[in-house]
Copies of this chain bind each other. A is one copy, B any other.
Amino acid sequence: MKYSKLFGRTIKEVPKDAAAVSHKLLYQAGFIRESTAGRYYFLPLGLKTMQKIQAIIKKEMDKAGGQEIVTPVLHPIQLWQETNRTNSVGFELMKIKDRSEMEFVLGGTAEEMLVDLVRKFQVSYKDLPFNLYQFSTKFRDELRARGGLLRVREFLMKDAYSFHATEEDFKKEYEKMKKVYTQIFETLGLKTVIVESDNGYIGGEYCHEFIVESEAGESKFLTAADGYAAHEDMAKFLREERNVKDIEKKMEEVDAVRGNSMEDGARLHKLPLWQQIKDLMMVDEKGNFVLAVIRGDLEVNEVKLAHLAKAYQLRHATEKEIRSLGSEPGFISPIEINKKVKIIGDTSLRTIKNAYTGANKKHRDLLNVNIDRDYKLDIEGDIALAKEGYWSLSKKPLVAKKGIEVGNIFQLGFHYSSKMKGAAFKDQKGKEQPYYMGCYGIGLGRTMAAIVEMHHDKKGIIWPESVAPYDCHLIEIQDSKGKSLAEEVLEKLKENGTEVLYDDREDVSVGEKFADCDLIGIPVRLVISKRNGEKIELKKRNSDKSELLTLNEIESRMPQ
Q: Which residues on A are within 8 Å of B, measured CB to CB?
A: 4-9, 33, 35-36, 39-44, 47-48, 50, 65, 67-76, 91, 94-96, 98-99, 102, 104, 106, 113, 116-117, 120-121, 126, 130, 132, 136-137, 139, 141, 143, 153-154
Contacts and interface: CB of A to CB of B under 8 A. Distances in A.
Nearest to A51: B68
A136 B70 CA distance: 13
Contact of A94 (B33, B48, B96): B96
A270 to B, nearest CB: 49
Contact of A68 (B36, B44, B91, B102): B44
Nearest to A67: B44
A132 B41 CA distance: 12
Given A33-B117, A42-B70, A48-B68, 13 more contacts: A4-B126, A8-B69, A9-B121, A33-B120, A35-B113, A36-B72, A36-B74, A41-B69, A41-B71, A73-B137, A95-B96, A99-B141, A136-B137
A36 B41 CA distance: 29
Nearest to A68: B47
B74 A39 contact: yes
Contact of A106 (B96, B130, B141): B96
B72 A41 contact: yes
A272 to B, nearest CB: 44
Given A8-B121, A41-B117, A141-B98, A72 B33 contact: no
A83 to B, nearest CB: 16
A41 B70 contact: yes
Majority DSSP secondary structure for residues of A touching B: mixed
The winner among A71, A75, A126 for most chain B CB atoms within 10 A is: A71
A420 to B, nearest CB: 14
B154 A74 contact: yes
Contacts of A113: 35, 41
Given A9-B121, A72-B154, A154-B74, A99 B143 contact: yes
Contacts of A36: 72, 74, 76, 102, 104
Contact of A96 (B96, B126, B143): B96
A517 to B, nearest CB: 19
Contacts of A91: 99
Give the 9 A-B CB pairs with smallest separation, nearest first.
A39-B72, A44-B67, A96-B96, A42-B70, A35-B72, A99-B141, A7-B67, A41-B117, A36-B76
Contacts of A65: 5
B68 A98 contact: no
A36 B6 CA distance: 41
A501 B4 CA distance: 45
Contact of A71 (B35, B132, B136): B35
B130 A7 contact: yes
Given A106-B96, A137-B137, A73 B70 contact: no
